[in-house]
Structure formats: structure tokens, C-alpha cells
Amino acid sequence: MENELILLTEEELRKKVPSAFSEESYDAVSGKYQHYSTYPVIQTLIHDGWSACMAREVNTRIKDRIGYQRHMIRFYHPNLQLSPDEYMSIWLINSHDGKCSYYIVSGIFRVICTNGLVVGWEQYAVRLTHRWYSPEKVYEISRNICEQGTQIAENIHDLRLVTLSEIDRYRLACEALDIAYRLRTPKNRPNVDAHDLLLPCREEKEDIRTLWMTYNIIQENIMSGVVFTDKFGKKRKARKMTSIARDLDFNRRFSQYVWDIGGLG
């Protein structure tokens, strides 16, 4: 059914992100590294009412690293609905190869496009180390995110009240391009014009000139791969952003930029 949330069972999670269920760490990690499986965190969040709706792990060519690599699981909470199409969500990022810490990040899940946005990174992200695990601590973080729902809903309401001029929308799209491709040389950047990022992927019910909707449209185009015209005049589609590290970096930087210009930083 269109716009229906597809929830992932534990069996499906084990197929999509087997690294999240690893019971040991990669052999090459530091002696100070303490292994804590992602699985107990998943269990704690589910017990607290969260449902997994998206999951993926990075690909690795190093055979002995398979099963320990970085993974990301997105959860949504059915009782934390911010609008008919938007729910509070949690991003859970972890690895068992020493490459990253736990991240638990507040976000918004848009059912209409299965789009995941983080919100105000500096205010709503928690970074954890691998030197402890406590179900009580994860439960506390989950409770805090639930309690933040009202404040985040108010913040989004404020962003919906900001109407941007076409020049300001273009500037926001330019900033998104700079953030998304900041690590690429000009030669390796797709020939995407900022105007391409301002074209909605579908007919939107809301005014696309608001800061909130402009943010959503740009973010979805970056993540899903925007259609653009190359230097030969041919229509092409940019690559989807499939890297977990790039996904997290772009969403962190761009969401905080939007939050700041909206006066919410």
C-alpha cells in the first residue's frame, strides 16, 4: 500500500545487518576496546515502543572484517506522530571493528518518501563509547528523545512559518551541494545545478517555499540521487548516497545549518 510503513522483524534485521548481532569484535581492535553488541540496544528500544523500519550496513572488501562493519538502523515510534506523514525517529549507528562509536540520533521519518532526516544535531545527538553498555542508560536516552518530541514538533512548526525567497532557496541548495560533495574534487563532482535540488520529487501538499519543505526537498534529492543535465545536454541521475558515513555527515551538517538559519541552533 502506498506510503505504508514496512516494519522489520528481528529475522529481517539479521539478514539486512548481520553485523548488528555480532557477539565479538574484530580481531584488530585495540586492547582497550570493549565489545558491546548492538543487539541489546535494539532490544531495549523495541521494548520501549520503537519499531525498526530501515537498516543497512557498509560493504567491505576485507573478508575478515565482514560481520563487524558499520551499520545503521532507523526506528520510528508509532505514538510520536508529529503530522499525518511524519514521526519521531531514532538513528542507531554502531560498528564492531573500532571504526566508530555508538551514535543515537533524534530524527524525523517522513512516510510519504521513506525519508529520514536528523534534527538539530548539536541538540539531539548522543555519542557513546564502547567502554560500557547499560540497558538503563539506553532506556534513559530513549525516554529523553520521547520527551523531546514536543520541542522538536515546535521547532518544525517554526521552520514551516519561515517562507524563503527564491534567492534564499537557491542559496540553501548551494550550501547543500557544498556539504554533500565537499570531499570531492571539482572533476569528480556531478554537474548538478542548485536549481535541480529545488524540484520536488512529487506533488507536495504543503507550500514548498517554506524553510521546512525546502529542506525536505533538497535533502531527498541529495539522498536519492537528483536528475540533472550533464555538460553534453543529456539527462542523468546522480548516484544515491549509500555510504553510511556520508549519509550521517551530510545530514548532520545540513540539518544543523538549517536549524541555525531558522534560529533554532
Is the pLDDT at 1 greater than 50? The verdict is no
Could you say which DSSP state residue 9 is in? P
Residues 40 and 119 in one domain: yes
Number of domains in the chain: 2
Residues 200 and 98 in one domain: no
pLDDT digits (tens, 9 = 90+) for 113-137: 666 677 655 566 777 665 555 667 7
Residues 44 and 116 in one domain: yes
Domain boundary among 107, 122, 149: 149
Of 50-64, 142-156, 245-259, the poorest mean pLDDT is in 142-156
3-state percent breakdown (helix, strand, coil) of the chain, nearest 5: 40, 20, 40
Q: Is residue 203 classed as helix, strand or coil in its secondary structure?
A: coil
Residues 22 and 134 in one domain: yes
More confident residue, 195 or 80: 195
CA–CA gap between residue 146 and residue 65 (Å, rounded):
35
Residues 187 and 135 in one domain: no
Local confidence band at 213 (pLDDT 50, 70, 90 cut-offs): very high
185 part of a folded domain: yes
Domain boundary among 90, 121, 149: 149
User: Cα dihedral angle (13, 17, 22, 27), rounded to 10 degrees?
Assistant: 180
DSSP string for 155-167: HHHHHHT-BPPHH
Highest mean pLDDT among 23-32, 103-112, 130-139, 199-208: 199-208
Q: List the one residue out of 35, 6, 143 whose CA is nearest residue 97.
A: 35
Domain boundary among 149, 178, 204: 149
CA–CA gap between residue 255 and residue 227 (Å, rounded):
22
More confident residue, 156 or 134: 156
Q: How many helices (H) and strands (E) does the chain have?
A: 7, 8
User: In this structure, what C-alpha cell is assigned to residue 85?
Assistant: 506523514
Residues 136 and 190 in one domain: no
Residues 181 and 235 in one domain: yes
Look at residue 110 in the predicted model and tell me its pLDDT: 78
Residues 138 and 172 in one domain: no
Look at residue 2 in the predicted model and tell me its pLDDT: 43
CA–CA gap between residue 218 and residue 109 (Å, rounded):
15
Look at residue 122 in the predicted model and tell me its pLDDT: 57
Q: Residue 249 belongs to what domain range?
A: 166-261
Residues 132 and 227 in one domain: no
Local confidence band at 194 (pLDDT 50, 70, 90 cut-offs): very high
- Helix ranges, 9-134 (H): 10-16, 39-47, 121-124
Q: List the one residue out of 26, 20, 11 whose CA is nearest residue 57.
A: 20
